[in-house]
Amino acid sequence: MAEFVKVGVLSSLPDPGRVTVEIGDRVVVLFRVGGDLHCLDDVCTHDGGPLGDGPLDGHQIVCPRHGARFDIRTGKALTMPATEDTATHEVHVDGDDIYVRLRD
Ligand code: FES
């Protein structure tokens, strides 16, 4: 199982806000909404669009390419043209430090 990796600090991430982070060869997006943190692959399952570049609507991220929506809490694909969920990753906070552990 992957280890937790420090990806940033809480004090520099606005709420609502997001930051795109590279962990190894993977790009993920860390969201902060309503005091909670969520981490997703920065990849739309429709055609690889960069989810982190899309507008955030509550707990939904809208793919900037063709408009599919995903729930940032679960990675669930909510609207067409995406039909597959995107991967979510585990987030842990220790003091001001934010850590992410990649799921396979
Ligand atoms: S690449 Fe995201 S909706 Fe098409």
Burial letters for 77-89: b for 16+ Cβ neighbours within 10 Å, e otherwise?
beeeebeebbbbb
In ligand 1, the atom with minimum distance to the C-alpha of 68 is: 3
pLDDT band per the 50, 70, 90 thresholds, residue 54: very high
**At residue 74, does pLDDT exceed 90?**
yes
In ligand 1, the atom with minimum distance to the C-alpha of 82 is: 3
Q: What is the number of structural domains in the chain? A: 1
pLDDT (tens digit per residue) in 19-40: 999 999 999 999 999 999 999 9
For residue 65, the domain's CATH number is 2.102.10.10
Phi and psi, residue 93, nearest 5°: -115, 135
Q: Which domain holds residue 46?
A: 5-101
Q: Return all residues near 25 (Cβ < 8 A) that are at least 6 apart.
A: none
pLDDT band per the 50, 70, 90 thresholds, residue 77: very high
* Contact 49 CB / ligand 1 (< 6 Å): yes
